[in-house]
Amino acid sequence: MRIPIVAFCGALYVAVASGLVCLAPNTALAQTVAPTVADTAKGKALVDLNGMTLYVSDRDTAGKSRCNAQCIVSWPPLIADTDAQASGTFSFISRDDGRKQWAYKGKPLYTWAKDKKPGDATGDGVNNIWHLASP
């Protein structure tokens, strides 16, 4: 008899083909309203409801996120609430897990787990593929 072992990480788990992935405790909650613009350590950028800087990835294509599984531990997607309404340059993409993610000009939006407070922008330039979501 196999007994499953589950470790508690104090966060949300997501089922993936290889098992469960523990998401970082700062995984963003779904938001109903589109992101806004604010000043960050690297200039003006889009931010979520908590004022956390948003980013885009060069690996994503318009309408498709390539950040799944372990990637979302470091780069939590900005999830759209089921009641959210797209407008203007803001839209949604459908993630592989079925959730809606906010997108700006077709590019999926993410936060960065290492940003600790509103205005931080430490994810800009990571691996030469992550950039501020600039308005």
Write out pLDDT tens, residues 25-41.
Answer: 445 579 999 999 999 99
Residue 9 lies in a domain: no
- Count: domains in the chain: 1
Residue 127 lies in a domain: yes
Which amino acid, one-letter code, is at 129? I
Residue 38 lies in a domain: yes
The tens place of each residue's pLDDT in the chain, 135 residues long, gives: 333 333 333 344 444 444 444 444 445 579 999 999 999 999 999 999 999 999 999 999 888 999 999 999 999 999 999 999 999 999 999 999 999 999 999 999 999 999 999 999 999 999 999 999 999
Residue 3 lies in a domain: no
Which residue range forms the structural domain that includes residue 98? Answer: 28-132
pLDDT for 39 equals 96
Q: Determine whether 42 is exposed, middle or buried from the number of CB atoms within 10 Å of its CB (0-12, 13-18, 19+).
A: middle
Residue 1 lies in a domain: no
pLDDT for 12 equals 46
Residue 68 lies in a domain: yes
pLDDT for 28 equals 54
